[in-house]
Chains A and B, each alone.
Chain A
Amino acid sequence: MSVFGVLVLNLLFLLAGSCVLWGAGAWATWGDWAWSSGVSYMSGLCAVSVLATLVPIYGGGLSAGTILALVAGVGLAGIVVGIVRRRPFPTSSAARTAPDLVTLALAGVTLLLLLLFFRVARIEPMTSWDAWGFWMTKAKAIYYFGGLDLSIFRQTWPSYPILVPALAAMNFRFMGAADTTALAVQWWLLGAGFVWASAGMLRRVAPARVTWLFLAIFVALPQFDQRLLERTADWPLDLFFGVAACALLVWILTRETWLVVVFCVSLSAALETKREGLLLAACLVVAGLVAADARRRSTWLAILGAAAIAYLPAIPWRLWWTSRHLPGDTPPGGLVHATFTNLGQAPKAFALVAELTFKYGFWLGTAPLALVAAIVCLRASNRRAAVFFLAAFGLTFVGWAWENWAFVSEGYPITSDPSVNPTNRTVASLVVLATVAAPVLVGQLLAQRARSEAPEPVPAPASP
């Protein structure tokens, strides 16, 4: 019954996201919808969850009626935009291209691994300290008491944003109980949704075989298999970041407007998931501006405009905890002071981030492969994808090192021990970034032979 509730709620996310993306012009035929439904699902989940965080901040409870109203509000907004923009009513697809056998095999492997993972997600109890220590405690408090009960939120890392607790509380409402075991299915759906959404977006700019090869590797990552179901905010943050990065990368190459909408809602979800979301968002925005030619008005208007809108829902949360004088978990003397005072720790911090990012036993070799592909792609005539990936990867890498040296203390040493330092979890963002960029970069390399025999083509939707 609990798992059924999770599935119903997530179908509503898919419905709301489908309306939004129809309004944004992402799909016009049912065939397009099928290919982009992963993007629709993640967009719907992000949009509804971000709005849901505002309800308890203003003292409300996430009742079934409220959740349905949020879903309906998001969906109707998409429909209204679609009508105003005169989007055609969806029709059936005229031409259908069957995927080749290699693509089908790789997609089949990915699906098989995800199904095996679902068997675990259905029954695995929550044992991660951070999950029962505060993430799920906050979720249950929202579910049982409504609003943000200060007696609980004061005790449980009060400055952390509340998208994950709000998402879990919505699941509890649809389950009819605070069943944290069945809630693992929601985390599984986030992982599957990321894969589904990435495949939908990348099909426009990367060969399907290469895309599914890297997505299959992603599902087989040791740290993905071991940690996705922890029911903390680490993997959701990385997955929202991954969707935002993928949307921005594909937008840089194709300039399709609907991708800005996906970038905006997924970036907003990342900002509302963990404080580190701000760092990741800043890295993406700068990389996007560098790669997409910031001199063009349409570039900075789209990237900075979307980022500014994405940040808006984070303001009420910031006002809530600062107005109650709750501690912000900043280092003594402030961030700028700590950055320069602890500068001597920077080499150690960089070494730690490098060690954990490239640890084969954690992440296989996705990041090194993508880096090599990007460096070779810099010699190509169209190097926007490579520049975007290298800038985003480099900035994020420096960002995680900075977090280590600026926040270093006796309780937060620079060490690979995961019980006192989160870097083995935070570097997942770099691997997710590499996963969505690698198919584009490797695809560009493979296209070189064809290009030597024909004029330079413009990026066009690849065959599914």
Chain B
Amino acid sequence: MRSVNLAFGAGVALVVLAGAMLLVRLPDAYSTLNDAAHAAAGRNELGGALATADSMSLNDDFVRNAFAEVPKNARYAVLLPRDEAAVEQADGVSAVTFDGVAALFGDYLLPRRQLKTAAKGTYIICFYCHAGAWSRRTHWLGPATGGGRIGYVYR
């Protein structure tokens, strides 16, 4: 009988604790979800690509240009600088941005296909790349924006 009372008492105590836990958490849960809804409003430009670009410290106009200039059935390569560390120091670009830029375009630009290297008839998304080396066979589509530039390799 005593163990029965102990078990029942434990059950009641656990319910009280769980109820208190819920009551204490509810205001925070409400404000977390409310804040998230307000923060998310109006951030869906280009299918959310700009929100991701912001989280990666990528320039919005650079991402917009990539969407505008690379046709949906085209192929492209993302080109990065040879010496990323130097650019990180000189222009304050983080290593995380360099790590993620190809994957970001690889996802958001689909169905455009990403290549490892650019070739004739493909596009270049140049992010702090050595643009001079490509200029002789690339038609640049607009000026550099936020370290990024879009080009078309014509030969």
Q: List residues of A whose CB falls within 8 A of some B CB.
A: 109, 113, 116-117, 119-120, 123-127, 129, 132-134, 136-137, 140-141, 144-145, 151-152, 155, 178-181, 210, 213-214, 216-217, 219-220, 222, 225-226, 364-366, 369, 372-373, 376-377, 379-380, 438, 442-446, 448-449, 451-452
> Is B37 part of the contact surface with A, judged by Cβ < 8 Å?
yes
Contact B33 A140 (CB under 8 A): no
Interchain residue pairs A-B with the least CB separation, the first 5? A445-B11, A125-B48, A125-B51, A124-B40, A116-B33
> Is B113 part of the contact surface with A, judged by Cβ < 8 Å?
yes
Contact B36 A448 (CB under 8 A): no
Are A116 and B25 also in contact (CB < 8 A) when A140-B110, A373-B10 are?
no
Contact B113 A445 (CB under 8 A): no
B86-94, B99-107, B124-132: which lies at the interface:
B99-107
Contact B47 A181 (CB under 8 A): yes
Given contacts A116-B30, A225-B32, A376-B11, 18 further A-B contacts (CB under 8 A): A125-B47, A125-B51, A126-B48, A132-B52, A132-B108, A151-B113, A181-B44, A181-B47, A213-B18, A217-B18, A220-B26, A222-B29, A365-B18, A372-B10, A438-B18, A444-B11, A449-B4, A452-B1
Separation of A67 and B1 alpha carbons in the complex (Å): 59
Contact B8 A217 (CB under 8 A): no
Separation of A79 and B17 alpha carbons in the complex (Å): 45
0 or 1 for each of B48-59: is its CB under 8 Å from A? (1 = yes): 100110010000
The minimal Cβ–Cβ distance linking B117 to chain A, given in whole angstroms, is 13
Interface size class of B (residues with CB under 8 A): 35 or more
Q: Of A140, A181, A364, A451, which one neighbours B4 at CB under 8 angstroms?
A: A451
Separation of A210 and B18 alpha carbons in the complex (Å): 9
Chain B residue nearest to A129 (CB atoms) is B100
0 or 1 for each of B1-34: is its CB under 8 Å from A? (1 = yes): 1011111101110110111011001101110111
Residues of B within 8 A of A364 (CB): 21, 25
Contact B107 A136 (CB under 8 A): yes
Q: List residues of B whose CB falls within 8 A of some A CB.
A: 1, 3-8, 10-12, 14-15, 17-19, 21-22, 25-26, 28-30, 32-34, 36-37, 40-41, 43-44, 47-48, 51-52, 55, 100, 103-104, 106-108, 110-111, 113
The 26 listed contacts between A and B (C-beta, < 8 Å) are A116-B30, A116-B37, A123-B40, A123-B41, A123-B43, A126-B51, A126-B52, A127-B52, A129-B100, A132-B104, A133-B103, A137-B107, A180-B47, A210-B15, A217-B25, A220-B25, A220-B29, A225-B29, A373-B11, A377-B7, A442-B15, A442-B18, A445-B8, A445-B14, A452-B4, A452-B5
Q: Of B33, B106, B108, which one neighbours A120 at CB under 8 angstroms?
A: B33
Separation of A125 and B14 alpha carbons in the complex (Å): 39
Residues of A within 8 A of B6 (CB): 376
Separation of A144 and B47 alpha carbons in the complex (Å): 16
Separation of A220 and B22 alpha carbons in the complex (Å): 8
Separation of A213 and B7 alpha carbons in the complex (Å): 19
Contact B111 A145 (CB under 8 A): yes
The minimal Cβ–Cβ distance linking B11 to chain A, given in whole angstroms, is 3
The minimal Cβ–Cβ distance linking B114 to chain A, given in whole angstroms, is 8
Contact A226 B8 (CB under 8 A): no
Contact A213 B22 (CB under 8 A): yes
Residues of A within 8 A of B30 (CB): 113, 116
Separation of A123 and B39 alpha carbons in the complex (Å): 10
The minimal Cβ–Cβ distance linking B37 to chain A, given in whole angstroms, is 4
Separation of A81 and B40 alpha carbons in the complex (Å): 46
Residues of B within 8 A of A151 (CB): 113
Contact B7 A380 (CB under 8 A): yes
Separation of A26 and B48 alpha carbons in the complex (Å): 42
Contact B43 A373 (CB under 8 A): no
Chain A residue nearest to B12 (CB atoms) is A446
Separation of A222 and B100 alpha carbons in the complex (Å): 27
Residues of A within 8 A of B51 (CB): 125-127
Residues of B within 8 A of A213 (CB): 15, 18-19, 22
Separation of A329 and B18 alpha carbons in the complex (Å): 40
The minimal Cβ–Cβ distance linking A229 to chain B, given in whole angstroms, is 8
Residues of B within 8 A of A445 (CB): 7-8, 10-11, 14
Q: Which of B40, B47, B113 has the most CB of A within 10 A?
A: B40
Are A365 and B21 also in contact (CB < 8 A) when A120-B33, A446-B11 are?
yes
Chain A residue nearest to B10 (CB atoms) is A376
Chain B residue nearest to A380 (CB atoms) is B7
Residues of B within 8 A of A451 (CB): 4
Residues of B within 8 A of A372 (CB): 10, 14
Residues of A within 8 A of B29 (CB): 113, 219-220, 222, 225
